């Protein structure tokens, strides 16, 4: 199977590290012209763009807080000026917030998680669909989490935001399908990134985590990037309005493997 995204114009939010970096590099390797959104560490975003350009691809970086409507609108104006529109959007930017039980949560901090993860995904999808619907083509992929399905004590805002992203995706897919635009979600499980290094670098916590993953290993950022590239391609042209779980079967309730 030869997957190509040659000439497609792609935006990945939160793309200067971790899953976002792997996704933007994967899209570029498949031939897409990419936009690297970031809100901090511009040097990391610049290096990714330089690497892609050195490899013969096309990339540029844009600073924008996805929870700010004005900044999102300005980002898309820059994309229009540079690429003349957009074909692919990967909503990856997000935070998990501080661990706290719901009755002790700071309402301002709780809302900030919702604003970035859910409202930010909406704002970017809104701008993308304004461009994709008239051109009758495009793909939006929300990077959600297994926690759109699995509750996570201490992270009520995060779980609520990811559950919300799933229903946002389904609604946008229903609206956009008659216009030839696909909208999906990809839900990663436990993926090895710098943000969770404290877990996978500790043998005790890693062993506990692996009991929750039937495949017996953490995911790599390449596992997510490869699936995003496929979902954005013509090979997945009949896939929309659904979540694809890339989680080593974490959502398969491994606790029941030995009986109820």
* Active centre residues (catalytic): 158
Nearest partner of 128 among 166, 187, 95, 175, judged by Cα: 175
Q: Please list, residue by residue across 229-260, b when 16 or more beta carbons sit within 10 angstroms of its beta carbon and e when fewer do.
A: bbbbbeebeeebbebbbbbbebbeebeeeeee
Q: How many CB atoms lie within 10 A of CB 79?
A: 24
CB-neighbour burial class of residue 153 (10 A; exposed 0-12, middle 13-18, buried 19+): exposed
Q: How far apart are CA 11 and CA 142, in angstroms?
A: 12
Tell me whether strands 88-91 and 138-143 are parallel, antiparallel or unpaired. Answer: parallel
Q: How far apart are CA 66 and CA 49, in angstroms?
A: 20
Q: Please list, residue by residue across 84-113, b when 16 or more beta carbons sit within 10 angstroms of its beta carbon and e when fewer do.
A: eebbbbbbbbbbbbeeeeeeebeeeebeeb
DSSP character for 35? Answer: E
């Amino acid at each position: 199977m030869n997957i190509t995204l040659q000439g497609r114009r792609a935006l990945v939010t939160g793309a200067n590290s971790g899953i976002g970096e792997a996704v933007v590099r994967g899209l570029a390797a498949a031939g897409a012209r990419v936009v690297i959104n970031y809100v901090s560490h511009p040097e990391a975003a610049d290096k990714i763009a330089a690497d892609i350009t050195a490899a013969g691809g096309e990339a540029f970086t844009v600073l924008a807080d996805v929870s700010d409507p004005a900044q999102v609108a300005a980002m898309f104006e820059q994309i229009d000026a540079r690429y003349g529109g957009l074909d692919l959007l990967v909503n990856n930017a997000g935070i998990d917030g501080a661990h706290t039980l719901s009755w002790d949560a700071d309402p301002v901090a709780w809302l900030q998680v919702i604003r970035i993860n859910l409202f930010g995904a909406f704002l970017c999808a809104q701008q993308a669909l304004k461009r994709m619907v008239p051109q009758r083509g495009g793909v939006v992929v929300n990077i959600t989490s297994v926690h759109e399905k699995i509750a996570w004590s201490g992270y009520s805002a995060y779980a609520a935001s990811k559950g919300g992203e799933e229903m946002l995706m389904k609604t946008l897919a229903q609206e956009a399908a008659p216009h030839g635009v696909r909208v999906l979600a990809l839900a990663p499980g436990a993926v090895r990134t710098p943000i969770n290094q404290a877990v996978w670098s500790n043998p005790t916590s890693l062993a506990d985590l692996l009991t929750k993953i039937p495949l017996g290993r953490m995911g790599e950022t390449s596992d997510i990037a490869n699936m995003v590239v496929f979902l954005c391609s013509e090979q997945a042209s009949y896939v929309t309005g659904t979540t694809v779980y890339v989680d080593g079967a974490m959502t398969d309730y491994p606790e029941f493997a030995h009986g109820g």
